[in-house]
Amino acid sequence: MGKAGGTEDQAQTESGTPFARVYSAGDLAGFDPATALGAPGEFPFTRGPYASMYTTRPWTMRQYAGFGTAAESNARYLELIAHGTTGLSVAFDLPTQMGYDSDSPRVAGEVGKVGVAIDSIEDMRVLFAGIPLGEVSTSMTINAPAAVLLLLYQLVAEEQGVDPATLTGTIQNDVLKEYIARGTYIYPPAASLRLVSDTFAYCREHLPRWNTISISGYHMAEAGATPAQEIAFTLANGIAYVEAALAAGLAVDEFAPRLSFFFVSRTTLLEEVAKFRAARRIWARVMRDRFGARSAKSQALRFHTQTAGVQLTAQQPEVNLVRVAVQALAAVLGGTQSLHTNSFDEAIALPTQKSARLALRTQQVLAYETDVTKTVDPFAGSYVVESLTDDVEAAALDLMDQVAERGGAVAAIEQGFQKSEIERSAYDVARQIDDGSRVVVGVNRFTLDADEPYEPLRVDPAIERAQADRLARLRAERDPGAVGTALAELTATAAGPGNVLVPLKAALAARATVGEVCDALRTVWGTYTPTDAF
């Protein structure tokens, strides 16, 4: 689709295509609404995965929270629920994300800092105390040990008397993007894909309503990916997960309806709306034409969105309230299924209770005080949005072809392709901020001599000692023989073809710790070391 009047000195989108000064019907020459759009809820789902979208109910307002101990995070969850949060989203600390116990020497100083510390089923019980797991939807941002945390959640739900078949929520479980952009991987890629496909199979049988993976572009975007790179590399990873599940003997229409995605939403509202629409269109065609998916639920891309933390500034942090509102509006206009709005103080420290409440109120204002929920896909047919949707789609498909030429997502990761492309984009943005060609309000323009004082939330360092004491009591009270037997069964299954989640659940029920079960898998699968290409 051409750009009328475009010249090289004109503004460009984040993905590098030129903006036209004025868009008109000529920019939509050759545009076929029936093929490109369809109706909401119908292939290719450009206008949204559901026919009614927000006209009957708003998106799920899912606030991401977790810090310190399980008890502290539980108190925050109860407060968010009381203020209208409709879905929980758990942030875990780095030791938990890396599969280490809080008393491991490897994680000194990190316990409870960027999320909640979960070492065993006892911590999980405390985390969800007083929260009926059969009635809430819970998302857990956990990747390499995702199966471990999911099984702990299932065990606690069963203790509450909840049928696992009724549980709803999502585990991120997207380890491929860890090799590209984030780094909290444990096992080599092949073993990680084994664990992902085992989780698909286990949930199909035991937790059929659970979203088994949230294939994430968010962290790539936070590392510097453009909108086109974000969806290209995310969908390429999605293809790899589908291929792994098929290779494990699963039928596409059995597992694909439970796949979900996770994207960022930036302040560049028009391109973000176009990005979300393009992603749905690409995925629908991949699933139908490449993998033969026949179910509409297999073809429709559903996603969670988080506002762009990387765009928030420590300078004049109150301005972040405006940024988050614009980012959230872009996500809503783009048709997200659930949304987390960042708190204005997140560039400084963990959010306070007041800032987390203000972030939730931002979503509530959009849902209940604006008219964006009164009609489906308000931007459909817009000259600029339809043109940008085509541009983002074309750029993303080109990048996906480059990944395929390198042998697919895993092979491209091992060659360092995605990481190097994202680093190049991040460098360009940093250079533009430094030279002033990219304006960041309060940072390189409209600055103050000194910001007003602000008291951030601080995590008590005594938490680390308290968690270590809890682990010592756990190990003293449990049956060591039962734990040893369960861990031996886990390693034996990991060395063979069986589904590791079955013995994994038994080990956790016997009160094995997160670190112990992850170490058991490390002994069989090893750990991943980046190649020189990185």
Can you give the pLDDT of all 534 residues of the chain as single tens digits?
445 444 446 799 999 999 999 999 888 888 888 888 999 999 999 999 999 999 999 999 988 888 889 999 999 999 989 998 878 889 999 999 999 999 999 999 999 998 999 999 999 999 999 999 999 999 999 999 999 999 999 999 999 999 999 999 999 999 999 999 989 999 999 999 999 999 999 999 999 999 999 999 999 999 999 999 999 999 999 999 999 999 999 999 999 999 999 999 999 999 999 999 999 999 999 999 999 999 999 999 999 999 999 999 999 999 999 999 999 999 999 999 999 999 999 999 888 889 999 999 999 999 999 999 999 999 999 999 999 999 999 999 999 999 999 999 999 999 999 999 999 999 999 999 999 999 999 999 999 988 778 777 788 889 999 999 999 999 999 999 999 999 999 999 999 999 999 999 999 999 999 999 999 999 999 999 876 543
User: Nearest to residue 458, comparing CAs of 123, 90, 105, 112?
Assistant: 112
φ and ψ at 33, to 5 degrees?
-55, -35
Could you tell me if 173 and 196 are in contact, meaning their C-beta atoms sit under 8 angstroms apart?
yes
Q: Which residue's structure tokens are 């008219």?
A: 371
User: Nearest to residue 362, comparing CAs of 54, 78, 137, 61?
Assistant: 61
Q: Which residue's structure tokens are 């709005």?
A: 341
Length of the chain: 534
Please count the other Cβ atoms lying within 10 Å of the Cβ belonging to residue 365. 12
The tokens of 87 are what?
């879905």
Bridge partners (DSSP) listed for residue 211:
170
**Contacts of residue 473, Cβ cutoff 8 Å, sequence gap at least 6:** none
Q: On the CB side of 346, how many CA atoms lie within 13 Å of its CA?
A: 24
What domains are there in the chain, each with its CATH number?
A: 25-435 (3.20.20.240)
DSSP-assigned letter for residue 267? S
Cα separation values, 507 from 101, 121, 144, 339, Å: 15, 10, 18, 34
User: Nearest to residue 336, comparing CAs of 309, 307, 303?
Assistant: 303
- pTM, 2 dp: 0.91
pLDDT tens readout for residues 480-511: 999 999 999 999 999 999 999 999 999 999 99
Where does 56-194 show beta strands of DSSP type E?
A: 60-65, 87-91, 137-141, 168-171
